[in-house]
Amino acid sequence: MKDFAFTGGRPDPNTFPTEALIEASTKALRNLGGQLVNYPGESGYRGLRELASMRFEGREGVPLPIDNTSITSGSMQALDLTLGTFIQPGDTVLTEEYTYSGTLGIMRHLQANIVGIPMDYIDGMNMDALEDKLKELKRQNVTPAMIYTTSNHQNPTGAILSLKRRHRMLELAEEYDTLIVEDDCYGDIDFVPNPTPASLFKLDESNRVIFIATFSKILGAGVRQGYFVAKQPYYDMIHQNRWDGGTSALASAIVAEFFKENLEAHLETTNNAVGAKCKAVIDTLEEHVSDICTWTKPRGGLFLWIDLPESTDMKKLNALASAKGVGYSNGSAFHYAGEPVKAIRLAYAYCNIEDIPEGITYLAEAIRDAQVATVDVAAAD
């Protein structure tokens, strides 16, 4: 039986640049040599920090501050360090109503009071709802520890926080004296030209934003090369909780060596491939379940969100899909309070494109077969 893996935020394995990375590894080892006997230090390999700055400048028009950039083991370590620094047990954290399950897991581990803010699938978090919640908390003498947002190609919905909402979020953070953690791990995965506005970090004029990103989502999850950017005093505050001696300088040097010459070409290759897979998913859904389901139309990123009929038996759906080898993520995993949700998330980048129509057809059949007949009480009376 085939494995139709629509789970996990993994890039397209067919675009992984094995031979180019072998060449980059040779160059990196020759350049570093015996320097690798040393610890990389908390901030990490400078060459990759410079690359991160160059990457940001290419998209945003301004560089990142290299000395305020710290390399981490993927964006998850950056999140773990950042959230762990600013969240104490019982602290309130504001985030999108639907949020990456891994981030929610860290917040729950830290015993945060997670408050989900309503959002839409196009423009992201609703700023009127955010303002109302901040006002309510202020009346209760509660200052949130932070606002967490995945501003670009949001996980799990694919929403992109609009420029107007970004400006308003910054104004609210200033007015109510809280931080913003901007998780931009999918920011370069674009299917259409320039779909994302200026980053919150770039727009910030009051030192309210901590920026998190990664190279793993455009190269490979196993690479584990992420980073955070924070101005003082936050940069030093986060590093006070770091004890690992720094992220692998060898891995960082290889990634930096490869992307130094290949970033734009690699992004074009991977984005074209992943965009084609996303289209294949949408085309097959349109063919088979457009009468009973709705779904997002991603402008980039790795995920598509499907709203299912309320009559869907979620356990039956999972059993039917699993029997055909189709994997997906249950929507409740992304709800800030873990409530039951009649929705699922598909990660489309990993599955072979020629297998997508077959896998999504099986999923569509499972969705139809998982519908539970409803009783018309009025008619029965």
Number of domains comprising the chain: 2
For residues 115 and 247, state if they share a domain.
yes
Q: Residue 147: helix, strand or coil by DSSP?
A: strand
Q: Tokens for 79?
A: 């999140």
Residue that terminates a domain, selected from 198, 231, 262: 262
The model's pLDDT over 35-61, given as tens digits with 9 standing for 90+, comes to 999 999 999 999 999 999 999 999 999
Q: Which residue has the tokens 């992109």?
A: 160
Q: Whole-angstrom Cα distance, residue 259 to residue 11?
A: 16
The chain-wide mean pLDDT, for the chain, equals 96
Asked if 311 contacts 372 with a C-beta cutoff of 8 angstroms, the reply is: yes
* Nearest CA-CA partner of 347 in 102, 5, 3: 5
Mean pLDDT for the stretch of residues 342-347: 98
pLDDT, tens digit, for every residue of 209-261?
Answer: 999 999 999 999 999 999 999 999 999 999 998 999 899 999 999 999 999 99
**Assigned token pair, 269:** 């290759």
Which candidate, 320, 315, 330, 331, places its Cα nearest to that of 364? 320
pLDDT digits over 267-320, tens only?
Answer: 999 999 999 999 999 999 999 999 999 999 999 999 999 999 999 999 999 999
Look up residue 341 and give its two tokens. 């949700």
pLDDT above 70: residue 149: yes
Report d(CA 300, CA 109) in Å as an integer. Answer: 30
Is 379 or 75 the better-scoring residue by pLDDT?
A: 75
- Where among 213, 230, 262 does a domain terminate? 262
- In CATH, what number is assigned to the domain containing residue 273? 3.90.1150.10
Q: Do 321 and 226 fall into the same domain?
A: no
Q: Does residue 377 register a pLDDT over 80?
A: no
Residues 236 and 273 placed together within one structural domain of the fold: no
Residue 358 predicted with pLDDT over 60: yes
What the block records as the tokens of 367 is 């969705």
61 and 196 inside one domain: yes
Coil, strand, or helix at residue 227?
A: strand
pTM higher than 0.85 for the full model?
A: yes
Give the pLDDT confidence score for residue 1 in this predicted structure: 80
- Domain identity same for 66 and 190: yes
Give the amino acid at 118: P
Report phi then psi at 72, rounded to 5.
-135, 170
pLDDT attached to residue 376: 44
Return the CATH number at 97.
3.40.640.10
Note down the domain range covering 89. Answer: 17-262
**Quick one: 344 and 213 in the same domain?**
no
Task: Report the distance separating Cα 276 and Cα 296, nearest Å.
Answer: 15
Q: Tens digits of per-residue pLDDT, 306-323? A: 999 999 999 999 999 999
